Amino acid sequence: MVRVRFAPSPTGYLHIGNARTALFNYLFARHTGGKLILRIEDTDRERSKKEYEEMLIEDLRWLGIEWDEGPDVGGDYGPYRQSERLDIYNQYAERLLESGHAYYCYCSPEELEEERKKALSEGRPPRYSGKCRNLTPEEREDYEKKGIKPVLRFKVPDGRFVIFDDLIRGHIEINVDEFGDFVIVRQDGMPTYNFVVVVDDALMKITHVIRGEDHLSNTPKQILIYEALNFDIPQFAHLPIILGEDRSKLSKRHGAVSVRAFKDEGYMPEALFNYLSLLGWHPSDDREILSKEEIIEEFDIKDAHKSPAVFDRTKLRWMNGVYIREKIDINELTRRAVPFFEGFGYKADFEYYKRVMEAIRDSIETLMDIKDRARPFFIDEFEFDERAKEELSDETAYTVVQRFYEKIKDRDSLTGQEFKSIMKEIQKELKVRGRQLFHPVRIALTGEHSGVGLDILVDVIGIERVKKRLQRALEYFG
Ligand code: GLU
């Protein structure tokens, strides 16, 4: 039975890279019929915030990732928040101390800093000297008497290689001499990441640890702790980092990097889900638009790529456009669009918003595009730009608008179809066609030079607003 986990630290918004990690865990769990566990790693008391935890949960759900066990849904292996597991960590720290795999270290931060500098200046990798490894009981007592609080260090066996097969990166061998005895419980009694993650993964019966490559250097330390505690070692899969388009590590410099930012920028969760699944994986053929079910069906962590994935915003935008155009039911799409309409100051009821969405969904890529695309459906008193002024000052253009107005001024409705036949009449009467015929009307009705079909526009905004806009243009240019 596969059991995987996503273990975010609630210290900020859900980053795209972490969302990809969560997603790959989710996909692997669903593909194998296993379980996904959400564990909140909040041992960094300074930086962890409850609000961030809530937002993480909200953003994961928004993206369409569900978990089987977690702080909010419960489960048999809880608690699922590290801050609630401190007693458990203490027990295991005690065990490591008793079995001689850990020892108290009283070295002061200054001393350690000194040592670090020295190593660096001599071109050696900085690592703890092991000074407190073999303190006599008297020496220890002496420190205690002075009131010095120790840290607990893990005793790294000398001259060993840690060897493991990463499901993505293959065979890995690491010489433990690269790192010294590392801290597993801090002075303030808080256990460190490398220690608690092992205790949790073991007790939560995690079978596969799928996480970012930035944790690769932690893995040998963690394996040593697994061994010292006689725990079964899970399989590891380290996902390559995500790069920006300039091939440097994806960061805020590249624009939006949190799931929340994409949500706020009008992205569809289904599109982001689809896009993220392709950041370091692809199906057996060259399909790019895949449903959640199709991805789950095909996904295997063994097929995840080894080389870094480049985050391509243009492609994500394009994909989002496909979802907006083709994949989301119009009622649902409109529901999602309402806050955007409102945010842009476009006031109307749901039915009207829906008609506007029907009219513009083919021409937008994100809900932010509503701002420009939907403007003609809401704004009657727009500005005329220089080009518009020039074009409507032309006599023929003005006459077209005038003729159109005359033909509709006594009507009390105007469908798209009726609009089309009226324009045909004008074409015959004035002997103008194509752009010369339609563009003046477009300018008069919208102030713009391109956009939604005019038949659709008049149909949605209705005859009264059409009249009002025409009158305004005729007055302005008359
Ligand atoms: N809390 C760690 C992080 O957010 C989790 C690392 C892990 O998956 O082991 O990076």
State whether residue 462 is helix, strand or coil.
coil
Rounded Cα distance between 309 and 281, Å, is 9
Which amino acid is located at 330 in the chain?
A: I
Torsion angle defined by CA atoms of residues 126, 131, 133 and 137, in that order, rounded to the nearest 10 degrees? -160
pLDDT at position 427, please?
97
What order do you get walking across the sheet with 3-6 strand by strand? 35-38, 3-6, 208-212, 235-239, 161-166, 170-175
Rounded Cα distance between 102 and 95, Å, is 9
Rounded Cα distance between 193 and 195, Å, is 5
Rounded Cα distance between 105 and 103, Å, is 6
How many residues make up the chain in this entry? 478
Our answer on whether the CB atom of 41 is closer than 6 Å to any ligand 1 atom is yes
Q: Are residues 346 and 434 in the same domain?
A: no
Our answer on whether the CB atom of 4 is closer than 6 Å to any ligand 1 atom is no
Q: What is the largest CA-CA distance in the chain?
A: 111
pLDDT at position 125, please?
83
Q: Are residues 358 and 424 in the same domain?
A: no
State whether residue 249 is helix, strand or coil.
strand
Instruction: Please list the rounded mean pLDDT of every run of 10 residues in the chain (478 residues).
Output: 97 96 98 98 92 97 98 97 97 98 95 91 89 93 94 95 96 92 95 97 98 96 98 97 91 89 97 97 95 97 94 97 98 98 98 98 98 98 96 96 97 96 97 95 97 97 98 94
The single residue of 49, 149, 252, 409 carrying the catalytic annotation is 252
289-311 as b/e: b if 16+ CB within 10 A: ebebeebbebbebeebeeebbeb
The residue to which tokens 């309402």 are assigned: 338
Output the domain CATH number for residue 337. 1.10.1160.10
Q: Are residues 353 and 396 in the same domain?
A: no
Alpha carbons within 13 angstroms on the beta-carbon side of residue 109 total: 3
> Contact at 8 Å (CB) between 182 and 156?
yes
Our answer on whether the CB atom of 191 is closer than 6 Å to any ligand 1 atom is no
Chain Cα centroid distance, residue 353:
27
Point out the domain boundary residue: 374, 395, 418.
374
Q: Are residues 369 and 391 in the same domain?
A: no
- Alpha carbon of 254 to ligand 1 centroid (Å): 23
Does a structural domain hold residue 441? yes
Point out the domain boundary residue: 224, 239, 254.
239
Rounded Cα distance between 392 and 390, Å, is 6
- Alpha carbon of 388 to ligand 1 centroid (Å): 57
pLDDT at position 358, please?
97
Does a structural domain hold residue 260? no
How deeply is 113 buried, as exposed, middle or buried, from its count of CB atoms within 10 A (0-12, 13-18, 19+)?
A: exposed
**33: alpha, beta or left, given left = phi > 0 and alpha = psi -120 to 50?**
left
Residue 447 is classified by DSSP as: S
How many domains are contained in the chain? 3
List the beta bridge partners of residue 439.
Answer: none
Chain Cα centroid distance, residue 217:
25
φ and ψ of 161, to 5 deg: -110, 135
Q: Are residues 218 and 278 in the same domain?
A: no
The residue to which tokens 């630290």 are assigned: 9
Does a structural domain hold residue 428? yes
pLDDT at position 478, please?
85
Could you confirm whether 252 is annotated as catalytic?
yes
Quote the Cα angle for 217-222-228, to 5°.
145
Task: Tell how strand 151-154 and strand 183-185 pair up.
Answer: antiparallel
Output the domain CATH number for residue 235. 3.40.50.620
The residue to which tokens 């713009």 are assigned: 448
Q: Are residues 441 and 370 in the same domain?
A: no
CA-based R_g, the chain, Å: 32
Does a structural domain hold residue 304? yes
pLDDT at position 45, please?
86
Rounded Cα distance between 197 and 222, Å, is 8
Closest C-alpha among 34, 72, 43 to residue 55: 72
> Contact at 8 Å (CB) between 44 and 83?
no
Ligand 1: residue whose CA is nearest its atom 10 = 8
pLDDT at position 126, please?
87
pTM of model > 0.85: yes
Task: Tell how strand 161-166 and strand 170-175 pair up.
Answer: antiparallel
Q: Are residues 171 and 219 in the same domain?
A: yes
Q: Are residues 346 and 394 in the same domain?
A: no
Q: Are residues 221 and 108 in the same domain?
A: yes
Boundaries of domain holding 123? 86-239
Rounded Cα distance between 259 and 16, Å, is 6
Ligand 1: residue whose CA is nearest its atom 3 = 8
Q: Are residues 349 and 231 in the same domain?
A: no
- Alpha carbon of 190 to ligand 1 centroid (Å): 17
Our answer on whether the CB atom of 8 is closer than 6 Å to any ligand 1 atom is yes
Does a structural domain hold residue 5? no
Question: Of ligand 1's atoms, which has the minimum distance to the CA of residue 18?
Answer: 4
Point out the domain boundary residue: 340, 374, 408.
374
Question: Of ligand 1's atoms, which has the minimum distance to the CA of residue 6?
Answer: 8
Closest C-alpha among 349, 337, 321 to residue 374: 337
pLDDT at position 124, please?
85
Q: Are residues 356 and 394 in the same domain?
A: no
Question: Of ligand 1's atoms, which has the minimum distance to the CA of residue 214?
Answer: 10
φ and ψ of 406, to 5 deg: -55, -40
Q: Are residues 294 and 435 in the same domain?
A: no
State whether residue 251 is helix, strand or coil.
coil
Rounded Cα distance between 316 and 322, Å, is 10
Helices (H), 361-462: 370-373, 386-392, 395-408, 416-430, 434-446, 454-461
Closest C-alpha among 380, 397, 398 to residue 466: 380
Output the domain CATH number for residue 446. 1.10.10.350
Is it true that the peptide bond before 8 is cis, omega within 30 degrees of 0?
A: no
Does a structural domain hold residue 455? yes
Closest C-alpha among 153, 159, 154 to residue 174: 159
Does a structural domain hold residue 223? yes
The tokens for 186 are 């801090």
Rounded Cα distance between 361 and 384, Å, is 26
Does a structural domain hold residue 221? yes
